[in-house]
Amino acid sequence: MSILVMKFGGTSVATLDRIRRAAKRVGREVANGHDVIVIVSAMAGETNKLVGFVEETSPLYDAREYDAVVSSGENVTAGLMALTLQEMEIPARSWQGWQVPLITTSAHAAARIEEIPTANILKKFGEGMKVAVIAGFQGISPEGRITTLGRGGSDTSAVAFAAAFEAVRCDIYTDVDGVYTTDPRITSKARKLDRIAFEEMLELASLGAKVLQTRSVELAMRYNVKLRVLSSFEEMSDDAGTLVCAEEDIVESNVVAGVAFSRDEAKMTLQGVADRPGIAAAIFGPLAEAGVNVDMIVQNISDGGTTDMTFSCPINEVKRAEKAMADAKAAGAIDFAGLVADTNVCKVSIVGIGMRSHAGVAAKMFQTLRDEGINIKVITTSEIKVSVLIDRKYLELAVQALHDAFGLDRAA
């Protein structure tokens, strides 16, 4: 018995007609001999509506009740999908998170999966059930309360089920037909990738590519779950979409796999900070406690015992960062002459496992941006990534120029 996991996002189940279309895809896999675990999201727009109800009812809401409300959207979709499959004479049953049970931590609205026991669903497969339709995004805490995994959590649910049941593959159906070298809305030369390594996908997801949720890619890499990203709206075929897999499963690839970007970045500079041991901890400790997601960090050369410390963070966390620094200064933990926030920047990154074995990739990136008259404000690198902060007005130009410079419109 082989198990296949299929996950359908909100746009793929937005209407009854789309649920029927998704059910036909499930039926095709059942006909191919698979037992299928289907993970469904809420219908498009439903979760936002439910969140709005909660916030309007109780601005300082109880997170446990928040989870009880917002998880209900997936329950509706799961039931409708199971009914649709039954009408197609395919033995199917819907399962809510607590019925599996998918056991999570108690961190409501941001729970993490602890365990997925397989006995209940495997027993039903053994009795003739062919499809288990699981409400994604949700589980149950050790205290017996409904929990949710955070926005995009249905992707994480799907990969976790694929790992727990040792599925042959996890297919993620969405409104795009795969992973592209960059956003096709930025450049028409963007090319769909047939395969991409876990590490590359993880970097792209964390850097702004919204095809897959970061936690789901982390799980897939940890448990070597093959992921396939494909569209619910394209014709069904065995070679559709993009396969996210281990590096050794890719025969040839370009040095750079893709160009990612994030528009919603801010650059913050603490001026006149004392240059002494422990100053970085004194700055970034309060920021972490305030929930500020710091990314790039640059410290200037010391001048007369003081230095400037620059870091980037999401633009919607600027106010939180300013307050954390002001509070730390008032408490005497740090001292600085000023705090300057630049909210007109963006982050552009190149990603590729080929960087490990090819010299000069960063230099080529910097040369390309220079030739376009684009000034780099901050740089950060890893083994397979180079990211820069630049003025937001140059985002499209930078992405297009880098895409051309590294020949991403051509396969390796």
> Which residues lie closer than 8 Å to 46 by C-beta, 6 or more apart?
10, 73, 76
Q: Which of 262, 271, 277, 158 is nearest to 220 (CA)?
A: 158
Specify whether the CB–CB gap between 104 and 117 falls below 8 A.
Answer: no
- Helix (H) / strand (E) containing 173: strand 169-174
Nearest CA among 4, 35, 3, 38 for reference residue 19: 38
Q: Does the annotation flag 47 for ligand binding? A: yes
| Residue 10 counted as an annotated binding residue | yes
Q: Is residue 70 annotated as involved in ligand binding?
A: no
Distance set, CA 230 to CA 117, 240, 395 (Å): 28, 6, 27
Phi, psi (deg, nearest 5) at residue 56: -70, -35
Residue 174 annotated in ligand binding: yes
- Supply 352's token pair: 């590729």
Residue 185 in marked binding region: yes
Instruction: Return the closest-CA partner of residue 262 out of 325, 183, 147, 192.
Output: 183
Q: Flag whether 173 is marked binding.
A: no
The β-bridge relationship of strands 169-174 and 2-8 is: parallel
Rounded to whole angstroms, the Cα distance separating 127 from 255 reads 49
210 annotated as ligand-binding: yes
**311 appears as a binding residue in the annotation:** no
* Cis ω for the linkage preceding 101 (within 30 of 0): yes
Q: State yes or no: 9 annotated in a binding site.
A: yes
Contacts of 155 (CB under 8 A, 6+ apart): 7, 136, 172, 212, 213, 215, 216
| Residue 8, annotated as binding a ligand | yes
Q: Determine whether the annotation assigns residue 13 to a binding site.
A: no
Tokens matching residue 253: 């690839």
- Calculate the alpha carbon distances from 143 to 74, 95, 105, 107 in Å: 21, 20, 9, 11
What gap in Å lies between CA 173 and CA 265, rounded to an integer? 29
Is 49 annotated in some ligand binding site? no
Contacts of 74 (CB under 8 A, 6+ apart): 40, 41, 42, 135, 136, 137, 138, 154
Q: What stretch of H or E contains 268?
A: strand 258-274
Task: Please say whether the beta carbons of 136 and 90 come within 8 A.
Answer: no
Binding-site positions read 7-10, 47, 74, 174-175, 180, 185, 210-211
Binding-site positions for ATP read 7-10, 174-175, 180, 185, 210-211
Binding-site positions for substrate read 47, 74
